[in-house]
Amino acid sequence: MCHDCNCGQPPTPASAASATQAGGVPRHLAVGQKLLVHNDARAAANRDLFSAAGVRVINLLSSPGSGKTALLERLARELAAAPAGTPSRMAVIVGDLATDNDARRLRASGVPAVQITTGQACHLEAAMVHRALHDLEHQGYPLDHLDLLVIENVGNLVCPAAFDLGESQRLVLLSVTEGEDKPLKYPALFHSADLVVISKVDLSEACGFDGPLARRHVARVAPHARIVEVSARTGAGIDGLLAALAAERQPAPV
């Protein structure tokens, strides 16, 4: 539960009282206004910046331990080995509640990375990403020097679904170690995905993971999403993932 979006929080006496005028007379609240209007405005500004710089931006979401950082390390190695002239300059913005462990890990593997430490917030917001862009520029990586920017969101399958960051594509990672029914348990996040990546497929047999069943579950909640299976450890499926990241975004149905 976060203090920003109050996800799952029951109404408090104070919030209930605020809906009532003095004397106990109920008053009508305007509920049509979007709760995320400020975030959406900042996200739109971010998207304009990204578009002007010609950089593709991926919002990477998953539960903790699904292999986001390992996958980014693998992508970085593949891009570094790409033929000359191939768009391959990549940087990462990492979001975590605490520590900069993942950002340090990525920098150690040669990937420009900056950390957003959110404290109690269980998701990234567009304004946080905008501030992180300045940190990247101070490191010598302005947007117009990049081909690909990946935002590694906080490990959470609930709150990040609601927050547009200005991304080109939304990628949701599903590890074989999590089971096939994650898309059914967290439909809002998977429904928002442009691309669903099933990770750690080298462990499928050991985990008893039913790949066709997982694909059917994804298709049930996100029929528009492309599905790619990968292994960061072996490199299986990485070429297909790079091709999917280069594809044009198909808007998710409302």
Q: What is the pLDDT along the chain (254 residues), one digit of tens a residue?
A: 455 555 544 444 444 334 444 455 555 444 334 668 999 999 999 999 999 999 999 999 999 999 999 999 999 999 988 877 677 899 999 999 999 999 999 999 899 999 999 998 899 999 999 999 999 999 999 999 999 999 999 999 999 999 999 999 999 999 999 999 999 999 999 999 999 999 999 999 999 999 999 999 999 999 999 999 999 999 999 999 999 998 866 555 55
pLDDT for residue 26: 56
Q: Could you read off the pLDDT of 164-173 as tens digits, one per residue?
A: 999 999 999 9
- 35 part of a folded domain: yes
Comparing CA positions, the residue from 127, 135, 125 lying closest to residue 156 is 125
pLDDT for residue 14: 40
* Domain count across the chain: 1
Residues 203, 177: contact at Cβ < 8 Å? yes
- 32 part of a folded domain: yes
User: What DSSP designation does 178 have?
Assistant: G
- 178 part of a folded domain: yes
Q: Could you read off the pLDDT of 106-159 as tens digits, one per residue?
A: 999 899 999 999 998 899 999 999 999 999 999 999 999 999 999 999 999 999
CA dihedral 7, 164, 95, 42 (to 10 degrees): -110
Residues 88, 112: contact at Cβ < 8 Å? no
- 1 part of a folded domain: no
- 12 part of a folded domain: no
- 224 part of a folded domain: yes
User: Whole-angstrom Cα distance, residue 215 to residue 206?
Assistant: 18
Residues 6+ apart with CB under 8 A from 193: 61, 170, 171, 172, 222, 225, 252
pLDDT for residue 11: 42
140: burial class by Cβ within 10 Å (0-12, 13-18, 19+)? exposed
Query: Phi and psi at residue 23, in whole multiples of 5°?
Result: 90, 5
pLDDT for residue 81: 87
- 106 part of a folded domain: yes
CATH number at residue 107: 3.40.50.300
HSE-up of residue 75 (Cα within 13 Å, Cβ side): 28
DSSP for 108-169, written as a single string: HTT--EEEEE-TT-SS--HHHHHHHHHHHHHTT--GGG-SEEEEE--S-SSGGGG---S-SE
User: Whole-angstrom Cα distance, residue 54 to residue 31?
Assistant: 37
- 76 part of a folded domain: yes
Domain around 238:
18-246
